[in-house]
Amino acid sequence: MKKISRRKFSTTLTKGIGGAALLNGMPLACAMGNPNKPQKSLGVALVGLGSYSTYQLAPALQDTEYCHLAAVVTGTPEKARTWSSRYNIGEEHIYNYENFDAIKDDEGVDIVYVVLPNSMHAEFTIRAAKAGKHVICEKPMAMSVAECDTMMEACEQAGVKLAVGYRLHSEPFTKEVKRLVRDKTYGKLRYISADAAYISRGNPDQWRLNRELSGGGALMNMGVYSIQSIIYGSGENPISVSAQEFSTRPEYFKQTDETITAQFELPSGAVGQMMTSHNVRANRLYASCDSGWYELDPASTYIPLAGRTSDGPMNFEQESQQKLQMDDFAKHILEGTPNVAPGEMGKRDMVIVEAIYKSIAEGGKTIPLDLGNMGIVKRS
């Protein structure tokens, strides 16, 4: 894959969605954070201050119990000044993409959260690991399975923990689905479907529509949620996949896939069906079993999620998924609790992504998958 320079990245980003995410007028939590945090709190550095860091991660870090916002990494001086003021971040904890490696000497930073375009995930995960910092990398984990391997190897060699930003594994509706699967509440699974899609009407120069930066289109973005839903909604890794691609706006989606459907065979004999798109509105997980069914709709948005089963609605308190996710990872580091979204899970999903693209390239051919229990986290 052709590499893109950080200078070109910054220019591209300011044209698109990420560059439009400004802090002006945004309601924020107290800049000093939650005064009731326990003494054991790990410092988090956010690498990339686009919309997700701005509107989701930074506010969530004001309420987390086991971690807090300690540093930021940005290529935009104006953002550095704004974040320093709003979150009381000292100049010594503000980095850019060139001097990022100096973070190794920052004792206030324990975790680096990589929130950059997909093409930069591997580079900054590896640099963070070499700096001796634990890493959360946003999804998808990388541009390829090969990159996933290099990232995991770097973290293992450095003795640091690696997680993928799969927030849903920490939120209660998803955890309830996983419990239903584990307990076989409704008997044998027969069919499962997962849709994750939205309509993109933004600037065509946004980085998600640039293959050099994204590595793909809907599949590398929302499609990861569909793949995840099929797996945690069944408790199984698929053993084969066949896929199709559709485009109705080729003038807009010039470089990346618009809509993809795929069919999975599961080891139990159940059938899985997924759809992902940048030109459709959909957000649902549905599973049919011998003696009942369960559903999340919406299944992968930020709050509020909603769920129900053949016995009635699911009722859980709604709170920031990002808060729960980051606290889960911090507890994994501090207390040895399970890593609910390890690097192996991110790699597994990239194996599936590559198989889907291969199937499309070969006219919908069925591609076998040999995943075993790869990436499936067992919890009591």
Q: Which of 79, 133, 139, 161 is catalytic?
A: 139
The DSSP secondary-structure symbol of 260 reads: E
Angle CA 150–237–152, to nearest 5: 15
As a whole number of angstroms, the distance between CA 132 and CA 158 comes to: 6
Q: Is the dihedral of CA 280, 281, 283, 285 positive or negative?
A: negative
Task: State the alpha helices, DSSP H only, in 103-222.
Answer: 121-130, 145-158, 172-183, 211-214
CB-CB contact of 154 with 122 (8 Å): no
Give, for 244, the enclosing helix (H) or strand (E): strand 240-246
Task: State the alpha helices, DSSP H only, in the chain.
Answer: 6-15, 51-52, 58-60, 77-87, 121-130, 145-158, 172-183, 211-214, 223-232, 321-335, 343-361
As a whole number of angstroms, the distance between CA 301 and CA 234 comes to: 20
CB-CB contact of 287 with 194 (8 Å): no
Q: Which of 95, 97, 113, 225 is catalytic?
A: 225
User: Is 161 tagged catalytic?
Assistant: no
| Other C-beta atoms lying within 10 Å of the C-beta of residue 301 | 16
CB-CB contact of 352 with 194 (8 Å): no
CB-CB contact of 367 with 358 (8 Å): yes
User: Is 139 tagged catalytic?
Assistant: yes
Angle CA 24–26–28, to nearest 5: 130
Task: State the alpha helices, DSSP H only, in 16-137.
Answer: 51-52, 58-60, 77-87, 121-130
As a whole number of angstroms, the distance between CA 312 and CA 163 comes to: 34
Q: In what order do the strands lie in the sheet with 259-265?
A: 312-313, 307-309, 292-296, 279-289, 189-199, 271-277, 259-265, 240-246, 367-368
Active-site residue numbers? Answer: 139, 225
